[in-house]
Amino acid sequence: MTSTLAFTGKVAWASDVHEVSRTDPVQAGLYRCHQGAQIIVKNIAPDFGSIVVQFKGKDHLLFAVDTATGAVRYQDQR
């Protein structure tokens, strides 16, 4: 699974997702897209360097990666 996530701290529809500052807090909880897919953010490292998300019943550890825009972006290392 290759995942790229941007968080706004609320349930976000794909059309509503926007880039957020690296300093904006990521919140645990349920996020849904307009096509019915959902992820649950279960655990967030204190430094926001990694998060655990549940997708399709499996837990995935995602790591923060730097972006040119400063957006909060997480992806797996595969």
Q: Where are the domains of the chain?
A: 14-75
Q: What is the pLDDT of residues 24-43, one digit of tens each?
A: 567 899 999 889 899 999 99
pLDDT cut 70: percent of the chain above it: 68
Q: What is the dihedral angle through the alpha carbons of 7, 9, 12, 17, rounded to the nearest 10 degrees?
A: -40
Average pLDDT, the chain: 77
**Residue 9's pLDDT is what?**
43
Q: What is the pLDDT of residues 1-27, one digit of tens each?
A: 444 555 544 444 444 444 444 455 678
Which of left, alpha, beta for 46 (phi over 0: left; psi -120 to 50: alpha)?
alpha
| Dihedral sign computed on CA atoms, order 44, 17, 68, 77 | positive
Total-model pTM: 0.62
